[in-house]
Amino acid sequence: MVKTMVLTDKHISYSAIDDKDVMQFIKAVRNGFPFTVFARLAKNTPFSLGEWSSFLNMSERTLQRHKQEKKAFDPIYSEKILQVTLLYNLGVDVFGNKEKFDNWLETPNIALGRVKPKDLMDNSFGIGLLKDELTRIEHGVLA
């Protein structure tokens, strides 16, 4: 098992997290992610700044201001950044590559009420639903 730390690793995955990592995540989230950490994590996803602002329920202008002022994100936003990153990396692991998972995120899904999976990433309930769906796919249980 590869140990990861959110502040130093670009790829963090649910399968590599243990209790020690969770405590590090809690501490990092409470401290707030610097914009540089967000940028490093976001770089490994296909999401635009506009999509990230939607996921974070934050205007693009505010997101740009974080970058310009080198401002750390509040814990609530840091937690969401971590949740989206973990979900994305789980999806890549389940599908085997980014292209297949990116396509899945963009395709309306019958099991999710004909909604594009990406459109559910703006809240914790949607992220949980997507994680559950990815777990079903991973285990071959299709709806």
pLDDT at 19: 66
Residue 9 placed within a domain? no
pLDDT at 5: 42
pLDDT at 24: 87
Residue 8 placed within a domain? no
Query: What are the b/e assignments for 88-122, b being 16+ CB within 10 Å?
Result: bbbbbbbbeeeeebbebbeeebeebeeeebbebbb
3-state secondary structure 43-112: HCCCCCHHHHHHHHCCCHHHHHHHHHCCCCCCHHHHHHHHHHHHHHHHHHHHHCCHHHHHHHHHCCEHHH
- Joined tokens for residue 16: 């590599």
DSSP state of 6: T
Q: Return per-residue pLDDT of the chain as tens, 143 residues.
A: 333 444 444 456 555 556 677 888 899 999 999 999 999 999 999 999 999 999 999 999 999 999 999 999 999 999 999 999 999 999 999 999 999 999 999 999 999 999 999 999 999 999 999 999 999 999 998 75
Residue 6 placed within a domain? no
pLDDT at 1: 33
pTM: 0.86
Helix (H) or strand (E) holding 121: none
Residue 12 placed within a domain? no
**Number of structural domains the chain divides into:** 1
pLDDT at 22: 84
Domain span at 55:
18-138
pLDDT at 15: 54
pLDDT at 10: 46
Residue 64 placed within a domain? yes
Residue 5 placed within a domain? no
